[in-house]
Chains A and B, each alone.
Chain A
Amino acid sequence: MTESAPKRIGALTDTIPSQPPRSQWLDVWDQFKQHKGALIGGITFLTIILAVVVGPEIWWVDAQYLPKGREFINLRDTRPIYHALWDESAKVSWLYPLGTDNLGRDTLARMMQGGRVSIAVGLTAMLLSILLGTLIGVTAGYFRRLDGPLMRLTDLFLALPLLPMILVASLLFREALSKTFGVEGGVFVLVVGLIGITSWMHTARIVRGDVLALKEREFILAAQSIGTKPSKLVMRHLLPNVMSPIMVSATLGIAVAIITESALSFLGFGFPPDFPTWGRLLNDSVDRMDLYPERVLWPGLAISLTVLSVNYLGDGLRDALDPRIRGR
């Protein structure tokens, strides 16, 4: 009976995989690396964050320091250091590489301090808007009865004149919030809240669409048939699968939030005047921009560069997270 071992056929001849299986995130990272713009954008964004977080700690000039008397006259309206290249009589100082403003405050220190606020507002408002968008999107997609009302609400928000309403609300709610959270804290809560409440719609729409499609898939049916509770089903099975569109809209949401905050500050409805943010710095210097164009240029460039890098990052993430493009 002991004949030779049966001949291996079909699947049995498959060799053992030569390397361990790759995780999804490794694939995503490989695709992401392909997109040069996204890579540069990501690095730029991280550098900017690092600069504004660490910068004020190591830079020797305090952003709020107001020189008095003779020092004030010596310090104020210092031009950026590169002015010495073409104008030898220009008032420059190596201690203040980007110059000072008309009150003698150091522009570089204020830029870094302002960047902190702008980016903090951008990130927090993005988190709020993603949270709202995901909550509304998942609820509308998962519970059929709520779908209609919630989507009508989303359409309504999309038709609202958002910037005018943000302007109105930022003035009307300012004092009440300042009493509760202090002047700066109140404005921070106000600005973050307003941006978050007015920018969740796109996320909600995308998430709802994805949830509607996922709901019909077999693994959801399987999970339901073994008696998974709706809350668990959403947390364990639905949310991880809609992570990628959420991440993309989160990235792009940072850009929108930073621009809206700067627009508010630019129009004079944002943070108080002595509290620097990039939009505020830009607004303060517009009046004298024919004499001191650099004071408009630097905050403007900072905003634009941040938003540009975030947009490139979002573009790259969208490509990397899309399985149809990945591996091509």
Chain B
Amino acid sequence: MLTFTIRRLVLSVPTLLFISLVIFLLLELAPGDPMAQVPLTVPPEVKEKMRQALGLGEPIHIRYVKWVVQFFWIEPQVLFDHIFGTTFSEGKLRVISWQTRSPVMDLVIQRLPQTLWVVGVAYVVAIIIAIPVGIYSAYRQYSAFDQFGTFITMIGFSVPPFFTGPLMVVVFAVYLHWFPSIYDTTLVVDDFESFGKQIRQMFLPVMVLALQITAQISRFMRASMLDNFNQDYVRTARAKGMSEYTVVMVHVLRNSLIPVVTVIALGIPSIFGGAIITEQVFAVNGIGQALISAIQANDLPMVQTLTFIFAVLIVLFNLIADVLYGVLDPRVRYD
């Protein structure tokens, strides 16, 4: 299991490098000019100097290598220094935002926890709801519960987060006053009262995301359980007198989870897309919101780094899904 995990981890490095190259080239080849906002009265030679100051003068490949070194070599050193108080990164150039003139990674460190909290909690909530719903609708196929559940998941599948978000704000925040409509990131959780506040402000964004994920997972859970119920091994298990609980919850469930894990892994990019929208609706200051403001400000180093952080998150979650796959299906491990 450990070697399997390590092999997966090593394989993800070239993937990430390649993705970073794709993002870099996308930003490079685009016909936009970061100097477009500078007034026309600025003479060309001054403009050229400004370019140099932003690090735009050098050819593409040198800038790419520089970025890679900064991101993969210098930034980890900074993190190491921060934790252990050493001075490895002293005087080395970090990835600097054009907007704030401060290192991009500082901002990422500030913003990342909010995004991860919302997305992570949403995933947990969704899995807790979706798996039992999927199991029961498959077990009682075409029952009233199944029909209703299928309809609800179809709606959750079809209604986009940028509609459910405002809708929930109108209903639960404006009319009912149950939850705040805006996420307050300055809130410090130190006692039960502030913890309750934190739960309440996380409720709406998490629900919007969880609805999307639940719909996805429970649909596939149901389909996969149905596929397995017709298999011979189920009949064998029943024939040898196993309890219905063991048949469903041990034999069928474990086999049905395998394709569902794949589906979860494939859905991860769209969940992070949904997270960007949810952050925008509820004013959660996560990395999605930072990305949008960076794009609008034409802040290329920030855009590059944030997009890449999204790629890292997606690859990381895929990795977790892969490892889960290995836990569930022993055949995968020994390949």
Residues of B within 8 A of A259 (CB): 160
Stretch of B20-28, B59-67, B130-138 on the interface side: B20-28
In A243-289, the 8 Å CB interface with B consists of 255, 259, 262-263, 266-267, 269, 279, 282-283, 286, 289
Do A163 and B166 touch across chains, with their CB atoms under 8 A apart?
Answer: no
In A268-321, the 8 Å CB interface with B consists of 269, 279, 282-283, 286, 289-290, 293, 296-297, 300, 303-304, 307-308, 311-312
Residues of B within 8 A of A84 (CB): none
Stretch of A74-82, A140-148, A169-177, A229-237 on the interface side: A169-177
Interface string of B278-319 (1 = CB under 8 A from A): 001100000000011001101000010011001101110010
Do B272 and A282 touch across chains, with their CB atoms under 8 A apart?
Answer: no
Q: Does B273 contact A (CB under 8 A)?
A: yes
* Cβ contact of A167, chosen from B159, B295, B315, B318, cutoff 8 A: B295
| CB-CB under 8 A for A168 and B26, given A289-B170, A300-B167 | yes
Taking the nearest CB of chain A, how far is it from the CB of B37, in angstroms?
A: 12
Q: Does B276 contact A (CB under 8 A)?
A: yes
Size of the chain B interface, CB-CB below 8 angstroms? 46
| CB-CB under 8 A for A263 and B277, given A172-B31, A307-B158 | yes
Of the listed residues A164, A282, A289, A303, the one surrounded by the most CB atoms of chain B closer than 10 A to its CB is A164
Q: Does A69 contact B (CB under 8 A)?
A: no
| CB-CB under 8 A for A255 and B19, given A159-B314, A267-B276 | no
Do A165 and B269 touch across chains, with their CB atoms under 8 A apart?
Answer: no
| CB-CB under 8 A for A160 and B30, given A167-B295, A171-B295 | no
Q: How distant is the Cα of A162 from the Cα of B314 in the complex, in angstroms?
A: 10
Nearest opposing residue in chain A for B315, CB measure: A159
| CB-CB under 8 A for A279 and B162, given A156-B18, A167-B295, A168-B27 | yes
Residues of B within 8 A of A165 (CB): 23, 26, 307
Q: Does B55 contact A (CB under 8 A)?
A: no
| CB-CB under 8 A for A176 and B160, given A156-B19, A156-B22, A162-B273 | no
Do B31 and A164 touch across chains, with their CB atoms under 8 A apart?
Answer: no
Residues of A within 8 A of B303 (CB): 168
Give 6 CB contacts A-B under 8 Å. Answer: A163-B269, A163-B270, A163-B272, A172-B26, A172-B30, A289-B166
Beyond A168-B26, A169-B30, A172-B27, 8 additional pairs, beta carbon < 8 A? A156-B15, A156-B18, A159-B311, A160-B311, A175-B32, A259-B160, A303-B163, A312-B154
